[in-house]
Structure 1
Amino acid sequence: MSDDQKKQLEQQLWNIANELRGKMDADEFRDYILGFIFYKYLSEKQYLYANTLLETEAIKDYRKVTNEEDLEAIREESLIKLGYFLRPEELFSAMAAKGNANKETESNFILSDLEKILTNIEQSTMGTESEDDFNKLFEDLDLNSTKLGRSVEARNSLIAKVLAHLDKIDFALEDSESDVLGDAYEYLIAQFASGAGKKAGEFYTPQEVSKILAKIVTTGKKRLKSVYDPTCGSGSLLLRVAREVEVDDFFGQELNRTTYNLCRMNMILHDVHFRHFDIRQEDTLEHPQHLDMKFEAVVANPPFSAKWKGNKNPLNENDERFSQYGRLAPSSKADFAFVQHMIYQLAENGTMACILPHGVLFRGAAEETIRKYLIKKLNYLDAVIGLPANIFYGTSIPTCILVISKCRVQDDNILFIDASQSFEKVGNQNRLREEDIDKIISTYRNRETLDKYSYVAPISEVKENEYNLNIPRYVDTFEEEEPVDLDSIALELKTLSWDLEIVDKKILSFCNELNIEAPL
């Protein structure tokens, strides 16, 4: 599929999403439209796979299969291959057709059928390997919500209309070399994030920033056994890593239930098999779900300066993730708690890149103690990269990327990059351009000092600065102003004074002629 066709698909899906826009908030209609797209995707995957099983049978179109023994055989194979099962009458196309039937000759009411089908998808996985990956996946699709319409008929009509629009779109799932739907899904998530205000940061990291993190953690790698994100949101960071190198398995944890569901859908829509992702829903700091594992790559965009229990939970004092640093991150700012957690889960040959507010670079008290231990004792900090302000949805603050490695090649220095002035303005947001991303990555990989952009700081210099990592201490971006020619300015002022004297005389002359009082 060409780029133009991809853009056309994205626009088609966005237009369909706008069928719901007038009914509810951006984050609410997001859950409906993405849920319906996901249902269509599952239906089409089921239909295509069932047809491959029917190639040697008399009936080759799955939609026409009625024999229960044949359906049972297809169900068993589907649960192994796909992880779920849909009967022919449960397919998306069947529901779209019924919802848009002529109500004068047949019923076009589909709400109860649709609710049952979405429940059946989840129940089809019960007792199988994929059960956890499909459990309550459609819980945010409340088809009885009055936000879809004040009456049952209005809700049924709206949903039927949306299904009809979606049914006309070809997701091109037979093209195994393309990820058209996955790209379109990411596009929609980005569009919703742009209108979701502060809530956007809970589920989406701009693709430009995701790309930087992905390229950093895959430097020198062609394949990763595992990648982990402890605050995975919609999963965009995890999936971005897979665009750089082949990834065997994806792991993530997410606190928000709705976003957790979105992440699992996103994984499946990007054709990540259910056996190759493990996404959990829980508080990462209080109830980590993968603590017995180490990961080759870790990426994250944790909530900035979030609150956590810290020393209010006595168990944290002896938690292996935090205890060696001497202090716990303050309860009002969990930034370093997330860093400590990720370091604990990072494999000895692994690289970690995470986005944090600038405060982690210089704040004192407990955070200073943790920062000093991280550099002086562990020597894991590889690079600090300053990003422009206003590049994240929901916040305008400037941010930075901390790069941490347990197997540093050059362990006697830290690279500082100031990319804060490298961006373009798009509407009221700043955005990193391709050349901005390339410069950050090439500077990181070449580990070079560039005038007013980067500096390779010896650990001794960082020590002299008392482990303060504030980027301006290391990268001098000061631009000298042109020297002022005082003699030239004095001459200009003298000339202006003469000009004013001439003008004043003319005004006085005119006033005398008109026999009026001259202005002061």
Structure 2
Amino acid sequence: MSEDHKKQLETHLWNIANELRGKMDADEFRDYILGFIFFKYLSEKLHLYADEILKHDNISFTDLDADNAKHVELLEAVKEESISKLGYFLYPNELFSQIAKRGNSQSVDSSNFIIEDLTAILNNIEKSTMGTEAEDDFGNLFEDLNLNSTKLGKSVDARNTLIAKVLAHLDKIDFNLQNSESDVLGDAYEYLIAQFASGAGKKAGEFYTPQQVSKVLAKLVTLDKTKIKSVYDPTCGSSSLLLRVSKEANVAYFYGQELNRTTYNLARMNMILHDVHYKRFDIRQENTLEKPQHFDQTFEAIVANPPFSAKWSANDLFLGDERFSHYGKLAPKSKADYAFVQHMLYHLDDQGTMAVVLPHGALFRGGAEGHIREFIIKEKNYLDAVIGLPANIFYGTSIPTCILVYKKCRVHDKDILFIDASEHYEKIKTQNYLTEEHVLKIIDTYRERQDVDKYAYVASLDEVAENDYNLNIPRYVDTFEEEEPVNLDQVSEDLKNLETDIAETDKAISGYCQELNIKTPF
């Protein structure tokens, strides 16, 4: 997308946000905007597909009328094909453009009241998938779009006017779906998610990983690969991390699990919005640690940014769970970081790669975490690399973080690579971020796997054992900068000269005071 087009897109999106700003919190109007974007996408995709089907009949989809007996057979044929291919169906008068036009109509002959129709249409999209393979992927997708919420306006007319304005703004955006190389929709979606994350404080971590961090994770698990059979994220948020992997390699199937219901809906929307066919993704909603949904499946690539030091039950019953039973101890109730690691390792394919973001404390905390960390390194030898990231690069928290890379069949099985990228970042206002140069330096260093002065160190397993399996990066990567030696003779001479200067200055001030016939201030 050109920079001009991108700026126009962002302007339209910002105008839409401003229509809702002040009426509700950022994460609430996020749900409305992204829901309407999704409706527009489904409409335009269906419209294009229907026109392609009807091309041989020399008729456009919007020319068909469900009330016209002559058109009923054609509509049924299009419906059958659409549900089979796309997973859903909309009638011509239910398309986004038709609703937007009706809602902003100034004609005295037609009503511009659209709330009831729009609510029915969103329900019809879900109903059209019932009894089909797409049912689970489309079910309750629009449940967060409460069009009768008083936050949209105190009266029905006020709500209708606001919704119509939002649809009008969105209708001006050309998603350019005909161009397979264009990802206007994906850019719009990611722009909005990033904007909401930056203003949503701690809630941001529920649905967004900064793009450059996602890029590092994605590149790590796809290194030297062009195809990935399957990728899994056990805390998938809005699926942005899963989709990032597909930008580095062709992914056959996507798998994810998400606890938050609203974010789970966003995850499924995001998949469909990025043209991932409903048969190619399996996103589930549940607590990953307590109620895992993918059971005995293994995955070639696993990426995750779990909630930092989240709480979990740590019930003793889990000691009989295959994900945790080999370790002899469970991660503490107050810090589930290693519970996520254990869960992910269980699902990692023997030839796969896993990259997970954790708080720095996971590198050195003792107790049960120290025991699990040692078991993974000493008994399993799965840890391949430790990468320290800068502080303050995640929205809502300033703590420093790290990336741990795991493989079950390691090529370099005699050592562990440590990279200290904590001081390599740019700053915008109060937020730190990784540039493309920083990302590539991390990846190139991981690929080369050699010592780099004050940046990377390849530590033998014996050395890690000598450190009691403490992975704190400064133990391995020496970033100490020697200061220039102080010349004490020069310092002494400078002090003498300073005293002389002060005495001369005092004498001059005393003279001025005598001339002015005032007391000397010293």
Q: Does 1:321 align with 2:323?
A: yes
Q: Does 1:274 align with 2:278?
A: yes
Q: Output the CA distance in 1 between the equivalents of 2:337 and 2:410.
A: 23
Aligned residue for 1:354, secondary structure, equals strand
1:234 to 224, 238, 244: 238
Instruction: Answer yes or no: is the 8 Å Cα contact 1:302–1:335 preserved in 2.
Output: yes
Instruction: Answer yes or no: is the 8 Å Cα contact 1:50–1:62 preserved in 2.
Output: no
Point out the more displaced range, 344-353 or 182-191: 182-191
Instruction: Answer yes or no: is the 8 Å Cα contact 1:54–1:62 preserved in 2.
Output: no
Q: Output the CA distance in 1 between the equivalents of 2:181 and 2:519.
A: 87
Find the counterpart in structure 2 of residue 80 from structure 1: 84
> What pairs with 1:40-55 in structure 2 (closer than 5 Å)?
40-55=40-55
Q: Does 1:293 align with 2:318?
A: no
Instruction: Answer yes or no: is the 8 Å Cα contact 2:337–2:358 preserved in 1.
Output: yes
Q: Does 1:484 align with 2:486?
A: yes
| Structure 1 pair 61–334 and aligned structure 2 pair: CA distance change class (3 A) | same
> What pairs with 1:326-475 in structure 2 (closer than 5 Å)?
326-475=328-477
Q: Output the CA distance in 1 between the equivalents of 2:143 and 2:296.
A: 30
Point out the more displaced range, 495-504 or 243-252: 495-504
Q: Output the CA distance in 2 between the equivalents of 1:359 and 1:164.
A: 49
Q: Output the CA distance in 2 between the equivalents of 1:512 and 1:396.
A: 59
Aligned residue for 1:422, secondary structure, equals coil
Q: CA deviation at 1:295?
A: 0.1
Q: CA deviation at 1:514?
A: 4.3
Q: Does 1:243 align with 2:247?
A: yes
Aligned residue for 1:417, secondary structure, equals strand
Q: Does 1:31 align with 2:17?
A: no
| Structure 1 pair 177–507 and aligned structure 2 pair: CA distance change class (3 A) | closer
Find the counterpart in structure 2 of residue 99 from structure 1: 103
Find the counterpart in structure 1 of residue 64 from structure 2: 64
Q: Does 1:509 align with 2:511?
A: yes
Point out the more displaced range, 509-518 or 379-388: 509-518
Q: Output the CA distance in 2 between the equivalents of 1:15 and 1:445.
A: 44
Q: Output the CA distance in 2 between the equivalents of 1:251 and 1:268.
A: 14
Find the counterpart in structure 2 of residue 189 from structure 1: 193
Q: Output the CA distance in 2 between the equivalents of 1:15 and 1:507.
A: 64
Q: Give the residue type in structure 1 aligned to 2:209.
A: T
Q: Output the CA distance in 2 between the equivalents of 1:58 and 1:320.
A: 60
Q: Output the CA distance in 2 between the equivalents of 1:179 and 1:50.
A: 21
Q: Give the residue type in structure 1 aligned to 2:53.
A: L
Q: Does 1:259 align with 2:263?
A: yes
Instruction: Answer yes or no: is the 8 Å Cα contact 2:419–2:457 preserved in 1.
Output: yes
Q: CA deviation at 1:103?
A: 5.7
Q: Give the residue type in structure 2 aligned to 1:301.
A: N
Q: CA deviation at 1:170?
A: 1.1
The superposition leaves residues 265-320 of structure 1 with CA deviations (integer Å, 9 ceiling, x where unpaired) of 0000000000000000000000000012000000000000000000xx23211111
Q: Output the CA distance in 1 between the equivalents of 2:450 and 2:21.
A: 49
Q: Output the CA distance in 1 between the equivalents of 2:88 and 2:515.
A: 99
Point out the more displaced range, 341-350 or 217-226: 217-226
Q: Output the CA distance in 1 between the equivalents of 2:81 and 2:517.
A: 107
Q: TM-score if structure 2 supplies the norm length?
A: 0.97
Aligned residue for 1:400, secondary structure, equals strand
Q: Does 1:284 align with 2:288?
A: yes
The superposition leaves residues 436-475 of structure 1 with CA deviations (integer Å, 9 ceiling, x where unpaired) of 0010000001111100000000000000000000000000
Percent of pairs identical after alignment?
A: 70
| Structure 1 pair 507–58 and aligned structure 2 pair: CA distance change class (3 A) | closer
Q: Does 1:162 align with 2:166?
A: yes
Point out the more displaced range, 280-289 or 509-518: 509-518
Find the counterpart in structure 1 of residue 123 from structure 2: 119
Q: TM-score if structure 1 supplies the norm length?
A: 0.98
Instruction: Answer yes or no: is the 8 Å Cα contact 2:313–2:333 preserved in 1.
Output: yes
Point out the more displaced range, 272-281 or 87-96: 87-96
Q: Output the CA distance in 1 between the equivalents of 2:235 and 2:144.
A: 20
Q: Output the CA distance in 2 between the equivalents of 1:211 and 1:11.
A: 26
Q: Output the CA distance in 2 between the equivalents of 1:412 and 1:63.
A: 68
The alignment's C-alpha RMSD in Å is 1.2
Aligned residue for 1:252, secondary structure, equals strand
The superposition leaves residues 200-229 of structure 1 with CA deviations (integer Å, 9 ceiling, x where unpaired) of 010000000000000000012110000000
Aligned residue for 1:189, secondary structure, equals helix
Q: Output the CA distance in 1 between the equivalents of 2:100 and 2:190.
A: 24
Aligned residue for 1:320, secondary structure, equals coil
Aligned residue for 2:215, secondary structure, equals helix
The superposition leaves residues 305-359 of structure 1 with CA deviations (integer Å, 9 ceiling, x where unpaired) of 000000xx23211111011112100000000000000000000000000000001
Q: Give the residue type in structure 2 aligned to 1:7.
A: K
Q: Output the CA distance in 2 between the equivalents of 1:260 and 1:506.
A: 77
Q: CA deviation at 1:176?
A: 1.5
The superposition leaves residues 133-168 of structure 1 with CA deviations (integer Å, 9 ceiling, x where unpaired) of 000000000001111111100000000111112112
Q: Give the residue type in structure 2 aligned to 1:160.
A: A
Q: Output the CA distance in 2 between the equivalents of 1:443 and 1:415.
A: 9
The superposition leaves residues 366-409 of structure 1 with CA deviations (integer Å, 9 ceiling, x where unpaired) of 00000000000000000000000000001000000000001110
Instruction: Answer yes or no: is the 8 Å Cα contact 1:295–1:345 preserved in 2.
Output: yes
Q: CA deviation at 1:105?
A: 2.7
Q: CA deviation at 1:506?
A: 2.8
Aligned residue for 1:32, secondary structure, equals helix
| Structure 1 pair 505–204 and aligned structure 2 pair: CA distance change class (3 A) | same
Q: CA deviation at 1:63?
A: 4.1
Q: Give the residue type in structure 2 aligned to 1:48.
A: L
Find the counterpart in structure 2 of residue 519 from structure 1: 521
Q: Output the CA distance in 2 between the equivalents of 1:58 and 1:7.
A: 37
Aligned residue for 1:455, secondary structure, equals strand
Q: Does 1:21 align with 2:21?
A: yes
Q: 5+ residue gaps in structure 2?
A: none
Q: CA deviation at 1:515?
A: 4.3
Instruction: Answer yes or no: is the 8 Å Cα contact 1:330–1:367 preserved in 2.
Output: yes
Q: Output the CA distance in 2 between the equivalents of 1:267 and 1:230.
A: 16
Q: Output the CA distance in 2 between the equivalents of 1:65 and 1:46.
A: 16
Q: Give the residue type in structure 1 aligned to 2:8.
A: Q
Q: Output the CA distance in 1 between the equivalents of 2:127 and 2:516.
A: 98
Instruction: Answer yes or no: is the 8 Å Cα contact 2:64–2:75 preserved in 1.
Output: no
Q: CA deviation at 1:58?
A: 4.3
Q: Give the residue type in structure 1 aligned to 2:185.
A: L
Instruction: Answer yes or no: is the 8 Å Cα contact 1:63–1:89 preserved in 2.
Output: no
Q: Give the residue type in structure 2 aligned to 1:271.
A: D
